[in-house]
Amino acid sequence: MSEQQADSNIDFNNMNKTALLAKCTELGITKCKSKPRSELINLIKTKLASPSSQPTPNNEFVQQPPNTLNFIEVCAGAGGLSSGLMKAGLFPLLLNDFNKDCCETLKLNHPGINIIHSPMEKIDYTPYIGRVDILTGGVPCQAFSQAGERLGLNDPRGALMYRFAEILNTVKPKLFMIENVKGLLSHDNGNTMRTIIETLNASGLYNITYKCLDASKYGVPQKRERIFIIGILKTITQTPFVFPTELTTRPVVRDALANVPTSIGAKYPAEKIRLFQMIPQGGCWINLPVAEQIQYLGNSYNSGGGKRGILHRLSMDKPSLTLLCTPSQKQTERCHPIENRPLTVREYARIQTFDDTHQFIGSLSSQYKQIGNAVPVELARQMGLAIKKNLELATQTN
């Protein structure tokens, strides 16, 4: 039996940290003394799964099929982006998220895939140098949202863009993709976007372009505008990335809710049910009598702005408004089109185009948050197909 085969039979979960550190040293894994046991185990398994390690069929991780493009995704969330990319025929080398529930959800739905629960900057990416086709991630977007203070790169979450750039410069994939909120375009009069692109391309290796896509135009029954930033190695092609073509078929909420499985869901208090009884499909607080509007909105009644997400009832015959992290808070209400209740978890997932078989781990609020933060699966699939097409054309022209 070879040394590599012997390693594949070791139960690393039973090894103490000292033994795990010794194995890391043996395998050439560096910068790991401060890492927890769970992360050391993942690093060892990742190293053993690499082509240079010549993994055996007994290896725990699924091996990349031949002639397929692969990807690493950081800030992977509940798997909307990864599921769509996999549906497009791409293979995940590594999925990462800092949220434990998200990682448990990923493990449940992507069995055999290397999933690491850790801050993305704490992972050793050196085993992947020269191996990665695509680096991607939904780097946290709250810092650039149109709601709140919009601190951007001054917010610790916005600063994760710099961490992504460090990973990019380490791995140097053929292509990278970042998904973020539309507010990134206008933040600080466009200076934030310029800073991000300059940071991502400090090495000058990539042709970078970006576009705001509305998910409702790509097979998703939801108005959800997101920025996609794409960079392709200049050594592969000088042609900017070509984004997917908008589809002529536009699904609506009725399509999403047809025969949806029953599931858990949030509930409205009696007073909110009373108000929703006065609101038609596609309506919101403006459909209430003026006295009810003033009482419900309070001081915000005179503050201006659209506020159409307040007391919003979806319409069966239109795409949903953007699903957020909860369906029942005052600014994020997404009432069922016909019934006086919030959307259930499975209804939320349907509108985000998750398969009915995709399960979510955690509390009810955690499940809503995972789904609301996800990239719609079908939009991700369309982007995955475009990525394949762009990289295949680049290969043919070189």
Residues noted as catalytic = 141
For 81, 144, 229, 384, the CA distances from 377, given in Å and listed in that order, are 6, 22, 18, 10
Whose CA is closest to 381, among 173, 247, 219?
219
Identify the H or E element spanning 147: none
Cα distance between the two ends of the chain: 43
CB neighbour class for 249 (10 Å; exposed up to 12, middle 13-18, buried from 19): exposed
Token couple for 64: 């990349």
Token couple for 345: 């978890």
Q: How many CA atoms lie within 13 A of 170 on its CB side?
A: 15
Alpha helices in the chain (DSSP H): 3-8, 17-27, 37-49, 80-87, 100-109, 160-171, 183-186, 191-200, 253-257, 270-276, 290-297, 345-351, 364-373, 377-397
